[in-house]
Amino acid sequence: MSRTIHRATTVEISSPRPAPHWALLERRLLKAQAEACERFFERYFDERGYLLCVPRWSGDDGPDDALENVLNWTLLHSLGADDRVLALYKRALEGHFRQYTEAKTTEVELGREGMYYKEFHACFDWFHHGEAWSTIFLQGLADPADRALTHRMRRWTSWYMGDDPYVPNYDKQHKVIRSFFNGSRGPLLRKATALDWAGDPIEVLGRFRAGHGEQSFDEMLDHFRDYTDVVGDNHVNLGATTLGLTAYALTGEDAYRDWVLEYLDAWVQRTEQNGGLIPSSVGPDGTVETGYGWYGGVYGWGFSILQVPRNGKVAHRAYHRRTPFAFANGLLLSGDRRYLDLWRGVLDTVNANARQENGQTLYPHMYGRLDRLERLQQGGELDDLPEKGPEGWYDFQQQKFSWGAFELFFWTHDRSALDLLPQPPRWLRFLDGDDPGYAEAALSADLGALRLKMEMMAADSRSPDMTMSDDMNRMNPATTGALTQLMLGGIPTGRDVHVLHCQLRYFDPSRRRAGLPEDVAALVDRITENEVGVTLVNLSPVHERSVIVQSGAYAEHQIGSVRSESGTETPVDHPHMAVRLAPGAGERLTITLRRYANRPTFAPPWV
């Protein structure tokens, strides 16, 4: 797998093409979001970059929610939005680190010296670390030369490689992250308490809108009553592998790649030992225990709790949404599909336990102690449950267990993965040629969503001391889902701890930055295992534009050749190619790819 970069092949496009409506919508959406980001920053941040809210340590409202307010801003910039977006993001990031380092808890032991230490959460879980750092993982797309980003990623990743004796989150011998609670002050090696999760006491009713509907601090504590089983490794910790992938893409140093693959391989082995089911809890010595050990842990296979506010209903919170993305990190770093095969095996193993009920096939989504579930449903206490009891599958639903099924199709082009879904997404129907109106509809919908966000912001009259850090998340102007699908042929990014997965990315050689040049629009309308179809259009009737096309978000694919509409085929054999667009010109190109042939890098094509 090579990462050598040299001068790219140039394709000339000179055929005039009327400006397509999708192209005008695309450029309008990029411009409108950039302007909206400036308005949002002016409303919700001060001159230091501090968020105008009450900073809290909490699983309800904490630092992760604060940083989510600039989620996807760097992606937006890397698509071609104004440089001001990147500048405001960086001001918010630096302000965030200072604000949450200065913020301290009084009742919660873990945060009394500062919620952040060494520019990272002192000690919390990767469900929430991941939501915050999803923002930072994308920064290298727009700003790969930022030295502070590289220094920080080296520092943070070292704590999960076992290289820092003062932050011993990782046990090299047993290949485990030692606790579900971990961070810059190391792992929590005792049971977590509701206070550890809920943060310091706070007034709620009449002042704040709690995200889970709690009306009092007591209800916040009650929400986290059963979130105690944190010692040992947990499948949610796999989100830490994105630190290693990002550090590798920034530096090219094999130590980061080696650690990610080592940790993933340990989980592969545990899954195989556990009959094809990934355990949700692993002992501190790396063993997968029988009984409650393998399906326990917070967000584990058996993690069912009473809903809060208490209404007598049970909430099933096994959380597997992000796990497939961790195994995709292995694919990016090695090109080896066995990491994805493992996850497909997990899905098939779960669904093989389906049952027939009243003429319907129902599929399980949870596994655990059935007597515990019965006790919860009856509203009883769990303290006096016997040490052992009946186990089995539960939470049977009409829909198959399908976390990551569409993503598996995206990475492998194995259409059988789509059989796990109730119906394919509309974007896929567009790529299959069955929904030609999708591009314009999706871009128009995102423009409408942006308009609604700006209306909500204009109507927001709260003062900072009435504002939680997540109150403005829904107004974050970076509305990048349709742009990611249509411009890049990619999976929209969010807070699920994953990097950008896409077919193509673009660079502006004249401005030496990521993103489409001014006036240029792109539409990916077909994706197969070996080809990508993309239309590039220059909307300027006056100026020639040049764009560098990269295969993959991190140059992980290799372009074999490019074929024009006339049938002329040009060999490339490189991760990049240059396209020169005459004024008003446009053309559809078919690009052949050899997927996952190169190791991932943030390095721009002119390095």
Reading the block at residue 606, the tokens are 């002119």
Q: What pLDDT sits at residue 401? A: 98
Q: What pLDDT sits at residue 60? A: 87
Number of structural domains the chain divides into: 2
198 shares a domain with 157: yes
CA dist 573 and 576 (Å) reads: 9
- 186 Cβ contact list (under 8 Å, min separation 6): 123, 159, 166, 167, 168, 169
Judged against a pLDDT cut of 90, whether residue 66 lies above it is answered with yes
Question: Strand pairing of 314-316 and 304-306?
Answer: antiparallel
Judged against a pLDDT cut of 60, whether residue 155 lies above it is answered with yes
Judged against a pLDDT cut of 90, whether residue 235 lies above it is answered with yes
Judged against a pLDDT cut of 90, whether residue 505 lies above it is answered with yes
Percent of the chain scoring above 90 in pLDDT: 92
Per-residue pLDDT reduced to its tens digit, 431-441: 999 999 999 99
Coil/strand/helix, residue 481: helix
Q: What's the mean pLDDT in 107-114?
A: 98
Is residue 493 assigned to a domain? no
Q: What pLDDT sits at residue 210? A: 84
Q: Beta-strand (E) ranges in 453-585?
A: 504-508, 513-514, 520-527, 531-538, 545-551, 558-563, 569-574, 576-581
Per-residue pLDDT reduced to its tens digit, 527-543: 999 999 999 999 999 99
Of 449, 482, 515, the position where a domain reaches its end is 482
* Higher-confidence position of 313 and 257: 257
Is residue 13 assigned to a domain? no
Per-residue pLDDT reduced to its tens digit, 473-490: 999 999 999 999 999 999
Judged against a pLDDT cut of 70, whether residue 4 lies above it is answered with no
Q: What pLDDT sits at residue 310? A: 63
Residue 167 — φ and ψ, nearest 5°? -130, 75
Query: Which helix (H) or strand (E) element contains residue 11?
Result: strand 9-13
pTM higher than 0.75: yes
141 shares a domain with 195: yes
578 shares a domain with 459: no
Percent of the chain scoring above 70 in pLDDT: 98
Scored b (16 or more CB within 10 A) or e, 550-567 reads: bbbbbbbbbbbbbbbeee
3-state SS record for 369-437: EHHHHHHHHCCCCCCCCCCCCCEEEECCECCCCCCCHHHHHHHHCCHHHHHHCCCCCHHHHHHCCCCCC
Q: What pLDDT sits at residue 7? A: 65
109 shares a domain with 45: yes
Per-residue pLDDT reduced to its tens digit, 171-213: 999 999 999 999 999 999 999 999 999 999 999 999 998 877 8
**H-only helix segments in 168-286:** 194-198, 217-223, 241-251, 254-273
Q: What's the mean pLDDT in 347-354?
A: 98
Judged against a pLDDT cut of 80, whether residue 2 lies above it is answered with no
CA Rg, the chain, in Å?
24
Q: What pLDDT sits at residue 1? A: 43
Judged against a pLDDT cut of 50, whether residue 471 lies above it is answered with yes
Reading the block at residue 469, the tokens are 């850090």
- Give the CATH number of the domain where residue 555 resides: 2.60.40.1180
Q: What pLDDT sits at residue 48? A: 97
Coil/strand/helix, residue 588: strand
Judged against a pLDDT cut of 80, whether residue 25 lies above it is answered with yes
Judged against a pLDDT cut of 90, whether residue 107 lies above it is answered with yes
Judged against a pLDDT cut of 90, whether residue 164 lies above it is answered with yes
- Give the CATH number of the domain where residue 282 resides: 1.50.10
Judged against a pLDDT cut of 50, whether residue 398 lies above it is answered with yes
Q: What's the mean pLDDT in 119-145?
A: 97
In terms of residue numbers, what domain contains 416? 20-482
Query: Which helix (H) or strand (E) element contains residue 361?
Result: strand 360-362
- What type of residue sits at position 361? T
CA dist 231 and 548 (Å) reads: 48
Q: What pLDDT sits at residue 313? A: 87
Which among 485, 347, 370 has a CA at the least distance from the CA of 429? 485
* Higher-confidence position of 60 and 451: 451
465 shares a domain with 579: no
Is residue 55 assigned to a domain? yes
What average pLDDT is seen over the chain? 95
Q: What's the mean pLDDT in 48-55?
A: 98
473 shares a domain with 507: no
Do residues 74 and 82 touch, judged by C-beta distance below 8 A? Answer: no
